[in-house]
Every structure is written in structure tokens, then in C-alpha cells.
Structure 1
Amino acid sequence: MSYRTDRVRLVSLFKRKPGMTREEFQKYWASTHREIFTSLEITKKNLLKYEQAHTSDAALKQMAEASGVPMADSEWDGMAIFEAESYDKILEIFQSEEYQKTVNPDADKFLDRPKCQLLPLSLVTVIDK
């Protein structure tokens, strides 16, 4: 097994603020917050890829019915995937003054931050089409 040396990923598991519907959360995150985060020069410079993965109750139900395996309700409302050449590049974003002044206060509007989790991931490519 060998880890990729050209990139790393950080996955953030997100939980919405209490009192906010999943639809409200997803709409805000996919529009307003995305625009704020992707407008930062440090984000443009340091990230190779940024993806949002939004949970789907309908898909969860379909998968459970098709597989015959009951699936638990997810405690997560979404997942952000940050891909960069190194963890240092991702840290530069989070530690930047611009991020601290704009992105963090905006995230407090829709995230239950104490319930969110971070997973730094080193990659082993198994299939790559």
C-alpha cells in the first residue's frame, strides 16, 4: 500500500444548527456560504477541489428498500471535501485572517459547530477511471 503524495483530503462532517430545517441548511450552504468561501483568494490559490455532499432522505429510503437492509437516520446533514497538495495548504486557508473574519462568522449562522467533525485523509487510489 502506498499513499498518494500529490494530494490530501480533509472531510468535514456537518450538522445543522438547531431549529434549522435540512432544506434551509442545504440551501444556505450551497449558495450563500459557498460563494463566501470560494471568493477568498487563499481558497482559490490553495485548493485543488472543494465539494459539498448533501444528504438525501429520499435516497436513504430508496437504498434501504432496494438493499433490504434498514439504514439508520444519518446524524449528519452534509459533508465538505477539501482537496489540496498538503494539509499545510488547507491549514493556511483556515488560519488566514480573511477566513477568520468572513467564513467562520458565516458558518456560525448554519452549523452546529460543536457537533461537526473533521477527518484528515491520506489517499490510497484503488480504482481511478
Structure 2
Amino acid sequence: MDLEITKKNILKYEQLHVNQEWKERLSESQNSGRTRVPDYDGVVVFEGESLEKIAEVVQHPEYIEKVISDASSKLFKAETVHGAFNIATIIHKPPSGTGGDAKLPEVPGPEGIVRQDHVERLLVLIHKKDGLSQAEFSNYWLNVHALLVKPSLVTNPQVTKHKQLHAHQGSGLMPGNTSDWDGIGVIKGESIVNFAVAPR
């Protein structure tokens, strides 16, 4: 957050901390074949005006020296995977309350306290059907499937935001690291407990 290149190029930086209790519950249901649980513990989201501006950050010598070296020594395993996405917001409603889930500690930043969203997010990794091109997949998911989903989300009080992340395969943003999915559905709400009800 203190790097000048980050201040210049990044519009938003978010951390998604995996709820380990729910990861374990989903892992148990995975055994029945209903769910596949990715093996990660957190997600970092950089938002910028273009992939080029984000690439400037992650390829900047100061970022590599300070940020990557710190993360590699204390946080990340070598198999950390990167992806680049276009983001489409399908629905966005203000949350009705603060929610009852555990809150992350406030983090002091260069401009005061970092804003905390007291909500939960469910990430759904999506693989396109065999034979579909990335363009065909993205077009159908955004322009056909989203129109089917939106009415039920609008009336569902459990969901405050739904986004689609459309993957850039082989974007060159992170050479040597390509995601094995084609998109991510992001469902945001006040409590992960209620997400189990929402799909039904």
C-alpha cells in the first residue's frame, strides 16, 4: 500500500480470507461428488483501469523486492496461482445490516483505517464446456445466463452483490502462471450460512 507504483496504478486492493470452518464443511460435501473445493487459503484482488497498469505494479522492481519477497518468505507457497479477469457486476444491493459473522481486525493504512466489508463472499470457479471458445463462453454467461439468474437474486435478501470474473487466458500478466478455470462467480452477502439456502 505504501509503494508509489501501487498508489498510481491500483484502484482497489482487496483480501478475501477463506472461512476455514466452511472450507471444511464444503470438503465433506465434496466427498459426495456435489462440490469441488479449491485448495487455497486466501485471494488477493487488484483492480485497475487496465491489465497493463496492473502488470506495471506486479512487474515493478520495488514490488518484487519488497512485496513478493515478504510474501514468499512468510505467506505463500510456490504453487500460488494468478489469474487476470474482466469483471461484470450483475446485481448490487446495499447490505441491510452489519451481519453477525466474525470481523477481521482493522488494519492501519497510509490514509487511516482500511475499510472493512463486513460481509461474506462465495467464490464459484467455473470451467467452460468442451468445444466452447472463451469468447462463446463469456458471451453466453454474461448475456444469456446472467439474465436468467438476475431476477432470483434481485428478490433474494441473502445476496447483496453478484459479480462475474471472466478470465484472460494467457494474458502475459503473470508469465508461467495460468488459472485452470474460465471464470469465477462472486456472490456477496451478510452471512455465509444463508448462502446454502440461496441456490435452492
The interval holding the TM-score normalised by the smaller chain is: 0.5 to 0.7
Moved over 2 A (4+): 58-65, 69-74
* Range moving further from structure 2, 85-94 or 54-63: 54-63
**Structure exhibiting the larger radius of gyration computed from Cα positions:** 2
> Scaled by the length of structure 1, what TM-score is found?
0.58
| Structure 1: gaps spanning 5 or more residues | 1-37
Q: Deviations over 1:61-115 (max 9, x none)?
A: 56789xxx976664101000110000011111012121122112111112112x1
Q: How big is the alpha-carbon RMSD for the aligned residues of Structure 1 and Structure 2?
A: 2.6
Q: Which residue of 1 aligns with 2:89?
A: 125
User: SS at the partner of 2:88?
Assistant: coil
The count of aligned residue pairs is 90
For 2:84 and 2:62, the matched residues in 1 are separated by: 22
Alpha-carbon distance in structure 2 between the residues aligned to 1:100 and 1:61 = 33
Relative CO higher for 1 or 2, CA cutoff 8 Å, sep ≥ 6? 1
Structure number with higher helix proportion: 1
2:46 corresponds, among 72, 82, 95, to: 82
Following superposition of structure 1 onto structure 2, how do residues 43-82 of structure 1 map, counting pairs within 5 Å? 43-60=6-23, 74-82=38-46
* 2:27 and 2:37 in contact (8 A); partners too: no
Aligned letter for 2:84?
P
Q: TM-score, normalised by structure 2?
A: 0.39
Match of 1:112 in 2: 77
User: Deviations 1:12-60 (Å, cap 9, x if unpaired)?
Assistant: xxxxxxxxxxxxxxxxxxxxxxxxxx11111111111100111112234
Aligned residues: percent identity?
36
